[in-house]
Structure 1
Amino acid sequence: MEPRELSYKEFPASAATAEGMKVLPMNPDAVYCTVLHNHTYCERDGLPLHMHLILPSQHERPDATWPLLVFVQGSAWRQQHLDANLAPLSWISRQGYAVAIVEYRPSDIAPFPAQIQDAKTAIRYLRKHAGQFKINPEEIVIWGDSSGGHTAVMTGITPQDKTLDTDVYDGFSCQVKGIIDYYGPADITRMNEAHSTMDHSGADSPEGLLIGGLNVLENLEKASPTIIMNHISKEVDIPPILIIHGNKDRLVPFEQSVLLYNDLKQKGKDVEFYKIEGADHGGPDFWSGEVLGIVQAFITRL
């Protein structure tokens, strides 16, 4: 037969059959995801910054827009491995979310607040290009683990703080509807107060490198702006926050999330806090169906 240009609706279904053939109904709600690797969103300090984009699509809704989850991959504020949580985040995307795994400048190239600036820049870039990626710019949540959790919270609670921002993609908002914090530091000056397998105050520790290669406890004025609680007040509204942390975390003490949660509650903020009994620093416990159900329920209620 001669080929003809037909739309999907116009194209006839085949009536051919075969003995023993089984038939499955088409699922109009099925979501398929594609991954755009290493997409450059800006350049800072001569370094191109990338994001992985996981973009859903649906056969029955080709023009649909999707809520966006901006995920900041933890790395002790050093060079990130953006693929580290690509598999579970792809599962999340199949539930109907666009996901952007965002790269920030590592602390050995640019100390704090570079990581917060980069996350905000990425959000503005994604809003600017919302049409291209079929993102709903009114439905953005930021999520991160470990140092990415710290970055996510700091980004989400300080959208108007110009000392923690740049003018890259000026004119587009970096505000988010919600924040998800997986086992992130909250106060780097108090991390050595709890059990840990590493030092958190020396000049060459992750926390010391974050403030420019300085001893944290000897440079409290440099450390102070990195403390999440110093940016939270009763008077200023912030997005709802979900905190999830394991109580056998060998790298970021569980007490860090207790400090943050208690401060948020005392200041009247909307916060949920889950302890995963026996969980270490990351791993499969945080990507179980039960925990991802909690995450999805939190996002849905925003």
Structure 2
Amino acid sequence: MTEPSTVALTAPNHCFVEHYPGLVYKQFDEGLLMPGGRTLHFDLLKPVSPAPTPLVVFVKGGGFRNVHRARYLPALVPFAQTGVTVASVEYRTSNEVRFSSAVDDVRDAIRYLRRHAAALGIDPAAVAIWGNSAGASIASTVGAAPADAEDGVCAVASWYGVHDPAAVSAYQEADSPIRSALGPPGPGPDRWFCPSDHVTADSAPSILVHGTDDTVVDVSQSLALATELDRHGVPHEVVLVKGGVHSFAQMCTRSDALPRTFAFLGAHLRRAALRAEHPPSDAVGTAAPVTGRGCGHPATA
């Protein structure tokens, strides 16, 4: 018989992550069941931890026309292994509603997750949001609310989103997914949004990632948002990926956008958690990376 090998247990070097798919966060709208019994779902990547963990709400893009919320979850597992819960949320698309309702859906998701923080094992004081493409447009709009609001967040990651649609004439064409989501542009309530509509000095710190060769959403869209954030003194980083196109896979595998986004969100989540534990009068020091307090404990069967 071959001699068995023996290995020693070591201290955990990352969190064990569990996946909970298809959880429901919304089935009512304005007090009524949504048409056709519609329900909105989220998928959860949950680090096993005896202590509450920070939360990132991920909003996947899809031209405002489709949402495959589970598609990019594998890329986010390393983030969850650092001790950050990730909730990838569904929202209604332009086949059903206009853009503002999709924003309301994501706000409702954040409120739901906060209300159920104890059951889900998350820290309601440390919540950030991250979106790509159409999801980035939603995430940046949601993230402009004050952090202490029920749907407020402490940080935003916006990857190649549309932020000033009226500045692009092609978006006004009849077959444009932007026009489908926003409706025909017009005056008053039909006017398309722009960064100055929602960015204030209280908006959350943001990291903006955009490829310089993106032909789907021009890099000028992120630069327009950065200009408005700068005007209000909102802390932000702009990461321009030279030669980058409109591709989540490319950003993750051919640039350092993914670890930079992890680091940015992680630092702000840690600061938010520390502020909740220690009011500003006695909080000292700088934020350490999120490492998931108590991660690595074995999961119960």
Does 2:110 correspond to 1:110? no
Paired position in structure 1 for 2:152: 175
Paired position in structure 2 for 1:292: 258
Paired position in structure 1 for 2:163: 186
Does 2:193 correspond to 1:226? yes
Matches of 1:21 and 1:181 in 2, distance apart?
Answer: 48
Does 2:73 correspond to 1:75? no
CA contact (8 A) 1:112 1:226 kept: no
Q: For structure 1, which runs of at least 5 residues remain unmatched after alignment? A: 1-17, 161-171, 193-198
Letter in 2 for 1:54: L
Matches of 1:291 and 1:281 in 2, distance apart?
Answer: 13
2:120 to 124, 128, 133: 133
Residues 192-231 of structure 1: matches in 2 within 5 Å?
Answer: 192=169, 199-212=170-183, 214=184, 216=185, 219-222=186-189, 224=191, 226-231=193-198
Q: Deviations over 1:57-86 (max 9, x none)?
A: 1xxxx4221110000010111120112211
1:257 to 217, 222, 247: 222
- Flag as ranges the 4+ runs of structure 1 deviating above 3 A: 220-225
Question: RMSD of the TM alignment (CA)?
Answer: 2.2
What percentage of aligned pairs have identical amino acids?
A: 29
Matches of 1:75 and 1:266 in 2, distance apart?
Answer: 30
Normalising by structure 1, we get a TM-score of 0.80
Normalising by structure 2, we get a TM-score of 0.80
SS at match of 1:200: helix
SS at match of 2:107: helix
Matches of 2:208 and 2:133 in 1, distance apart?
Answer: 11
Does 2:211 correspond to 1:246? yes
Paired position in structure 1 for 2:26: 42
SS at match of 2:39: strand
Kindly state the Cα deviation for residue 204 of structure 1 after the two structures are TM-superposed.
3.2
Paired position in structure 1 for 2:281: none
Q: For structure 2, which runs of at least 5 residues remain unmatched after alignment? A: 269-301
Kindly state the Cα deviation for residue 301 of structure 1 after the two structures are TM-superposed.
2.9
Paired position in structure 2 for 1:3: none
Letter in 2 for 1:76: G
Letter in 1 for 2:241: I
Letter in 2 for 1:98: T
Matches of 2:98 and 2:160 in 1, distance apart?
Answer: 21
Does 2:12 correspond to 1:33? no
Letter in 1 for 2:94: S
CA contact (8 A) 1:191 1:256 kept: no
Matches of 2:131 and 2:19 in 1, distance apart?
Answer: 19
Bigger RCO of structures 1 and 2 (CA < 8 A, at least 6 apart): 2
Give the structure with higher Rg (CA): 1
Matches of 2:141 and 2:245 in 1, distance apart?
Answer: 23
CA contact (8 A) 2:212 2:242 kept: yes
Letter in 1 for 2:159: Y
Does 2:44 correspond to 1:53? yes
CA contact (8 A) 1:153 1:179 kept: yes
CA contact (8 A) 1:186 1:229 kept: no
Kindly state the Cα deviation for residue 94 of structure 1 after the two structures are TM-superposed.
1.1
